[in-house]
A and B are shown apart, each in its own frame.
Chain A
Amino acid sequence: MTGHLLSVVVFLPLAGAVLLLAVPRWAEGVLRGGALAVAVLAFVVSLALWTGFDARQADYQFVEDMRWMPSLGVGYHLGLDGISLLLVLLTTLLSPIALGSAWRAIEDRTKEFVITMLVLETGMLGVFVSLDLFLFYVFWEGMLIPMYFVIGVWGGENRIYAAIKFVLYTMAGSVLMLVAILALYAQHGAATGAYTFDLPTLERWVMPRGLAQNLMFAAFALAFAIKVPLFPFHTWLPDAHVEAPTAGSIILAGVLLKMGTYGFLRFCLPLFPDASMRYAPVIFALAVVGVIYGAWVSTVQPDLKKLVAYSSVSHLGFVMLGIFTLNVQGMVGGVIQMINHGLSTGALFLMVGMIYERRHTRLIADFGGLWTVIPAFSAVFMVVVLSSLGLPGLNGFVGEFLVLLGTFRAHPVLATFATTGIIFAAVYLLWMYQRVIFGEVTSEANRRLRDLSPREWAVVVPLLVFIVLIGVAPSPFTGRTEASVKALIARVESKAGASAAAAATAQARP
């Protein structure tokens, strides 16, 4: 069993989904409870990954490597390193929370909903642990389908438009990535004689620099940039968030966006180091623009969900900055910032969902004076807002500071621009908070709202715990990431050096 721990974690939700198929659709309580139990179980099992993980080791751990389609060089290869460990745990943490948030919100087709969510969880986990490009692509695309249904079936009024936009936009990027995967497969096979999709093998191979590498990088980068979303590929995000149900938004913001940034770390940097370094300035520039642009556009949104959606553009800009600094501080900060964004923005969507359930509106103008009516909600909301704006002592600060420190080392002027993001974050979040929570109660409909229920407490407290924990004691989290990040940097540098040497010898030859 321990030899297959990763497989167990990944496929546990799917197995649960299959079991729930047998439950009749009228037994909604059993369906909800069962799905939640499965998701919680997956989280508990995934804790074994945390405790069993050796932080000193940079290499993949809990590896499972089996043959799948040997004639094509496709393997069932799973593994976990310091970068994916935290993302896997984030996924198993947010999934039960998302299910819990939907307890009352989803009343239509409950059976299909909980099954879809569990299938989605398996898809997301698969993306983070696949060490075979073919397997990765299967999970990457496979996970689109349940998300499409979550938005398209259980979404708001304009859900069909949003769901189609989400899928088409993502597909446009992934199709090019598929072409690049095949090209990489072919090129590696031609050069070494071994046709394989195995990621560690491909990572070790020094690809010649030049047009082919640049094009492959561009294809991968486009797919991931859309997912992140990196400015200017972000316009699917506000639509998807506004239409998605709360549970969908939590997963979308919390986990799905991280697949983009994870992709850059796991694939773009080690596979195409020369191209990554060459285009790093472009990514840097887009990331900084995203940080500021996202914050500005966020400020003037009248809709709470859109405000949070655009704030994601800003926050993910920080992650991208961190990744492309190619130094330890920036990259560790980027990884931590991914987790923090998942926690803080997940919590923001959760809270927005709670007041939406009560009032059926998300317009800021419809609220005001909520502290008087629902003080506990308001206090929790305050903590979440502070975490999102990067207040020291809470989680957001740790990631942002390390990212900015890394950026400052690499590029002080850009770091200065990016740092203005912390001012604008305070502007849009505190202004929103002021209009929603402070002041007199302006609308009669708000006068009788009820405060947090025990179920809502149960859903939000785990997030608060990690928000505080990472803020106060981040070392266990950064410590588990650092070795892998260092190894990644070393790999990028050594490969870039090797390909440069190869290019030099090629030129020296008559």
Chain B
Amino acid sequence: MSTSVWLIPAFPLAGALINMLFGRLTGRRASWIAVPALLGSFLAACAVFSRVWHGEIVTARLYPWIQGGEFTTAVSVAVDPLTGVMLLVITGVGFLIHVYSVGYMHDDPGYARYFAYLNLFVFSMTMLVLASNFLLLYVFWEAVGLCSYLLIGFWYTRPAAAQAGKKAFIVNRVGDLGFGLGVMWLWVAVGSLDYADVFKAAGSMEPATATWIALLLFMGACGKSAQIPLHVWLPDAMEGPTPVSALIHAATMVTAGVYMVARSHVLFERSGVALDVVAAIGVATAVFAATIGLVQTDIKRVLAYSTVSQLGYMFAAVGIGAYAAGIFHLVTHAFFKALLFLGAGSVIHGMNGEQDLRKMGDLSKRMMATTITMGIGALGLAGMLPLAGFWSKDEILAAAFFGHRRVLWGLLVAGAFMTAFYTFRMFFLAFFGSPRMSREVAHHVHESPRSMTWPLVILAVLTTVTGLAVGIPLEHGSPFERFLAPVFARLEEAHSPVAALALAVLSVVVVAAGILLAWMLYHVRRVKAEEVGQPRTWVHALLLNAWYVDAIYDRLIVQPLYALSVLLARAFDLGVIDGIVNGLGRAVTGWAAGFRRLQTGFVVNYALTMLVGAVLLVGYLLTR
């Protein structure tokens, strides 16, 4: 029975359509449709997962989609262990965030529209991981981008939100340019876009071809998963409602790039070079984004740069061939980052929309549940033993170390230190120290309603236990890794237990040092709000401005292209091209005015002209 597979996307699609077409009727009751739709989707995913658990690969085919000559693709899906894991994360975390949204978006006039978009996103995201060919993947790759666009710009009256939505879409399209070309090349090289055919053919593909295709596909991943140089849209995407940031811009959609690279690992391996590029970009992004996270003053922006950085860790993992580790980090990150974002949302909700860390402080007194759960999330992100983040990050570091990528390993360890520091800088600034908000706000600070705190608690539990349950590396890899073994067809080699233990200890020490430093600077020392976020050195200014990447893009790409377009539109199109057209018209009018003078109306003139003409004609005929 393959119908249960279709139920996974069908529930949220139905929810989205109902709230879109009849939003005026559903109104405040929109969540009565949207939330059960997600629950249904989650249960269907569980049902399918249990079959995958027993070693089955569930496939289904709906109908042939685009066809032209020998080109053909179908709407077809397949669930293997990798897709199974992704489905559980998407629908599970998605369900929690839907529940959370009921409280968070409570007073919003666009309630129905919000849930319609959110359902549409879950539909698209589940289809993205279900797709069993590259074109369908591409379709939903763009569809999740659309949902992201709609939800970033959800509060459309705010110019910054509308701007950020558009930026996200366009930057993603730059990545999709590569992705699209990669897909076309793949078809020209293989003659099919089905995963099965492609990965079978990839083994014998010309390595240079494989490199080109893999790098083009990776360009799409850079866009979707916010890696250098296409990372610029994600921090701005924080203009969207916070649950959206949690679901789309942290837990699920942005990990699509990691999923895609892991899914296509055969192709990347055939190339070799492409894998190195993935690793290099991943590590560079991990460190780069972490440095920016050190100085942010907006609670959501800290988390946004942290997401960019953590995605870098995932790419680093798949780039060095530790696919299962990368996917495991994807899962644990989905839990703790969703938790952190939802916690931040709870803070923002409690403080009446305030996001500036400088105006927070001492919130632990009023928001106990949020403080505790967010503390767990912070430990998870920092990667502290025994939370999930420790196990997944540690596996990546170990893979780098034992894979003899010592430089990458060193950079990742430095990144881990920074991660621990900025996470707890945020945590202490928000929840401890002296309150720095206005008296009015201070008076209103309150814990969030149950519908918001319960998802926090569940995510905190998941953050705590996931690592212990499935992430502990045993002799033949962790249980998680063994589950994914059929997809990746390999296990990371066993290492000497002493070295592995030493690495783990080092990792804990580094994290503890980061937390300690944050504690000293932002808890022990009295925080002066006016000093935080004030650039004192050029390095500080550089980081505050995110290495000026946006400014550089604006100067080097956006403005020149705009100026060129204006020049083409005004000077070239109207001046040159249309000038020639109108000039021709005028020339004809001019000649006509000249010829008109020949029509004198005197018969003698005409007769004379005829005579001259006749003489010339006869002369020509005679001399020919």
Asked if B173 and A423 make an inter-chain contact with CB atoms under 8 angstroms apart, the answer reads: yes
Asked if B561 and A296 make an inter-chain contact with CB atoms under 8 angstroms apart, the answer reads: yes
Nearest A residue to B167 via CB reads A430
Chain B residues, Cβ within 8 Å of A299: 562, 565
Asked if A479 and B157 make an inter-chain contact with CB atoms under 8 angstroms apart, the answer reads: no
Given the interface pairs A293-B568, A299-B565, the reply to whether A438 lies near B153 with Cβ below 8 Å is yes
Is residue A300 within 8 Å, beta carbon to beta carbon, of the partner chain? yes
* Nearest-Cβ distance from residue A187 to partner chain B, whole angstroms: 25
Asked if A296 and B565 make an inter-chain contact with CB atoms under 8 angstroms apart, the answer reads: yes
Given the interface pairs A296-B564, A430-B169, A430-B170, the reply to whether A392 lies near B143 with Cβ below 8 Å is yes
Asked if A430 and B185 make an inter-chain contact with CB atoms under 8 angstroms apart, the answer reads: no
Chain B residues, Cβ within 8 Å of A332: 68-69
Given the interface pairs A393-B143, A408-B188, A473-B63, the reply to whether A431 lies near B166 with Cβ below 8 Å is yes
Asked if B163 and A434 make an inter-chain contact with CB atoms under 8 angstroms apart, the answer reads: yes
Chain A residues, Cβ within 8 Å of B568: 293, 296-297
Is residue A53 within 8 Å, beta carbon to beta carbon, of the partner chain? no
Asked if A327 and B162 make an inter-chain contact with CB atoms under 8 angstroms apart, the answer reads: no
Asked if B71 and A419 make an inter-chain contact with CB atoms under 8 angstroms apart, the answer reads: no
Chain A residues, Cβ within 8 Å of B475: none
Chain B residues, Cβ within 8 Å of A393: 139, 143
Chain B residues, Cβ within 8 Å of A497: none
Stretch of A11-19, A41-49, A254-262, A397-405 that contacts chain B: A397-405
Asked if B142 and A398 make an inter-chain contact with CB atoms under 8 angstroms apart, the answer reads: no
Is residue A273 within 8 Å, beta carbon to beta carbon, of the partner chain? no
Is residue A369 within 8 Å, beta carbon to beta carbon, of the partner chain? yes
Asked if B573 and A235 make an inter-chain contact with CB atoms under 8 angstroms apart, the answer reads: yes
| B-contact bits for A410-434, CB 8 A (1 contact / 0 none) | 0010011001101100110011001
Q: How many angstroms between the C-alpha atoms of A437 and B150 in the bound complex?
A: 13
Q: How many angstroms between the C-alpha atoms of A380 and B182 in the bound complex?
A: 32
Is residue A474 within 8 Å, beta carbon to beta carbon, of the partner chain? yes
Asked if A479 and B156 make an inter-chain contact with CB atoms under 8 angstroms apart, the answer reads: no
Q: Which of A301, A329, A369, A419 lies in contact with B181, CB distance below 8 A?
A: A419
Is residue B531 within 8 Å, beta carbon to beta carbon, of the partner chain? no
Instruction: Tell me the count of chain A residues lying within 8 A, CB to CB, of chain B.
Output: 57
Given the interface pairs A329-B71, A404-B184, the reply to whether A474 lies near B66 with Cβ below 8 Å is yes
Chain A residues, Cβ within 8 Å of B146: 386, 391
Asked if A168 and B585 make an inter-chain contact with CB atoms under 8 angstroms apart, the answer reads: yes
* Nearest-Cβ distance from residue A340 to partner chain B, whole angstroms: 13
Interface residues of A in 409-465 (CB under 8 A from B): 409, 412, 415-416, 419-420, 422-423, 426-427, 430-431, 434, 437-440
Is residue B566 within 8 Å, beta carbon to beta carbon, of the partner chain? yes
Which secondary structure dominates where chain A touches chain B? helix
Which secondary structure dominates where chain B touches chain A? helix
| A-contact bits for B544-583, CB 8 A (1 contact / 0 none) | 0000000000000000011011101100011001100100
Nearest A residue to B75 via CB reads A472
Asked if A430 and B561 make an inter-chain contact with CB atoms under 8 angstroms apart, the answer reads: no
Q: Which of A297, A386, A408, A475 lies in contact with B573, CB distance below 8 A?
A: A297
Asked if B170 and A392 make an inter-chain contact with CB atoms under 8 angstroms apart, the answer reads: no
Q: Which of B142, B170, B569 lies in contact with A301, CB distance below 8 A?
A: B569
Asked if B181 and A415 make an inter-chain contact with CB atoms under 8 angstroms apart, the answer reads: yes
Asked if B138 and A392 make an inter-chain contact with CB atoms under 8 angstroms apart, the answer reads: yes
Q: How many angstroms between the C-alpha atoms of A13 and B300 in the bound complex?
A: 62
Q: How many angstroms between the C-alpha atoms of A430 and B406 in the bound complex?
A: 45
Interface residues of B in 138-175 (CB under 8 A from A): 138-140, 142-143, 146, 149, 153, 156-157, 159, 161-163, 165-166, 169-170, 173-174
Bin the interface of chain B by size: 35 or more
Chain A residues, Cβ within 8 Å of B162: 434, 438-439
Asked if A486 and B573 make an inter-chain contact with CB atoms under 8 angstroms apart, the answer reads: no
Nearest A residue to B157 via CB reads A440
Asked if A402 and B180 make an inter-chain contact with CB atoms under 8 angstroms apart, the answer reads: no
Interface centre among B66, B149, B566 (most CB of A within 10 A): B66
Nearest A residue to B585 via CB reads A168
Interface residues of B in 54-96 (CB under 8 A from A): 63-71
Chain B residues, Cβ within 8 Å of A165: 581, 585
| B-contact bits for A356-400, CB 8 A (1 contact / 0 none) | 000000000000010110000000000000100001110001100
* Nearest-Cβ distance from residue A442 to partner chain B, whole angstroms: 11
Is residue B187 within 8 Å, beta carbon to beta carbon, of the partner chain? yes
Q: How many angstroms between the C-alpha atoms of A392 and B144 in the bound complex?
A: 11
Q: Which of A297, A419, A479 lies in contact with B569, CB distance below 8 A?
A: A297
Chain A residues, Cβ within 8 Å of B509: none
Chain B residues, Cβ within 8 Å of A409: 188
Is residue A232 within 8 Å, beta carbon to beta carbon, of the partner chain? yes
Chain A residues, Cβ within 8 Å of B143: 391-393
Is residue B177 within 8 Å, beta carbon to beta carbon, of the partner chain? yes
Is residue A169 within 8 Å, beta carbon to beta carbon, of the partner chain? yes
Asked if A415 and B170 make an inter-chain contact with CB atoms under 8 angstroms apart, the answer reads: no
Interface residues of B in 231-251 (CB under 8 A from A): none
Asked if B71 and A438 make an inter-chain contact with CB atoms under 8 angstroms apart, the answer reads: no
Is residue B447 within 8 Å, beta carbon to beta carbon, of the partner chain? no
Q: How many angstroms between the C-alpha atoms of A322 and B70 in the bound complex?
A: 16
* Nearest-Cβ distance from residue B565 to partner chain A, whole angstroms: 4
Is residue A132 within 8 Å, beta carbon to beta carbon, of the partner chain? no
Q: How many angstroms between the C-alpha atoms of A419 and B139 in the bound complex?
A: 16
Asked if A423 and B170 make an inter-chain contact with CB atoms under 8 angstroms apart, the answer reads: yes
* Nearest-Cβ distance from residue B409 to partner chain A, whole angstroms: 37
Chain B residues, Cβ within 8 Å of A478: 66-68
Is residue B492 within 8 Å, beta carbon to beta carbon, of the partner chain? no
Chain B residues, Cβ within 8 Å of A422: 173, 176-177, 180
Q: How many angstroms between the C-alpha atoms of A360 and B143 in the bound complex?
A: 35
Chain B residues, Cβ within 8 Å of A274: none
Chain A residues, Cβ within 8 Å of B169: 426, 430
Given the interface pairs A300-B565, A423-B170, the reply to whether A327 lies near B180 with Cβ below 8 Å is no
| B-contact bits for A201-237, CB 8 A (1 contact / 0 none) | 0000000000000000000000000000000101110
Given the interface pairs A419-B181, A423-B170, A423-B173, the reply to whether A401 lies near B70 with Cβ below 8 Å is no
Nearest B residue to A370 via CB reads B156
Given the interface pairs A438-B153, A475-B67, the reply to whether A423 lies near B139 with Cβ below 8 Å is no
Chain A residues, Cβ within 8 Å of B165: 434
Interface centre among B135, B156, B159 (most CB of A within 10 A): B156
Q: How many angstroms between the C-alpha atoms of A333 and B174 in the bound complex?
A: 22
Q: How many angstroms between the C-alpha atoms of A299 and B66 in the bound complex?
A: 30
Q: How many angstroms between the C-alpha atoms of A224 and B153 in the bound complex?
A: 42
Chain A residues, Cβ within 8 Å of B64: 475
* Nearest-Cβ distance from residue A400 to partner chain B, whole angstroms: 9
* Nearest-Cβ distance from residue A435 to partner chain B, whole angstroms: 9
* Nearest-Cβ distance from residue B209 to partner chain A, whole angstroms: 11
Q: How many angstroms between the C-alpha atoms of A419 and B181 in the bound complex?
A: 8
Nearest B residue to A409 via CB reads B188
Chain A residues, Cβ within 8 Å of B176: 422
Nearest B residue to A404 via CB reads B184
Chain B residues, Cβ within 8 Å of A348: none
Asked if B68 and A328 make an inter-chain contact with CB atoms under 8 angstroms apart, the answer reads: yes
* Nearest-Cβ distance from residue A322 to partner chain B, whole angstroms: 10
Nearest B residue to A390 via CB reads B142
* Nearest-Cβ distance from residue A46 to partner chain B, whole angstroms: 24
Query: Closest 4 CB pairs between A and B?
Result: A328-B69, A438-B162, A392-B139, A235-B578
Could you show 30 A-B contacts with beta carbons less than 8 Å apart?
A165-B585, A235-B577, A235-B581, A296-B564, A296-B568, A296-B569, A299-B562, A327-B69, A328-B69, A329-B71, A391-B142, A397-B139, A402-B68, A405-B71, A408-B188, A412-B185, A415-B181, A419-B180, A419-B181, A422-B177, A422-B180, A426-B170, A426-B173, A430-B169, A430-B170, A434-B166, A474-B67, A475-B67, A478-B67, A482-B69
Interface residues of B (CB under 8 A from A): 63-71, 135, 138-140, 142-143, 146, 149, 153, 156-157, 159, 161-163, 165-166, 169-170, 173-174, 176-177, 180-181, 184-185, 187-188, 561-562, 564-566, 568-569, 573-574, 577-578, 581, 585
Q: A333-B68, A392-B142, A427-B170 are in contact. List 19 more A-B contacts (CB 8 A).
A: A165-B581, A234-B577, A296-B565, A299-B565, A327-B69, A332-B69, A391-B146, A392-B138, A398-B66, A408-B181, A409-B188, A412-B185, A422-B176, A422-B180, A438-B153, A439-B159, A474-B65, A475-B63, A482-B69
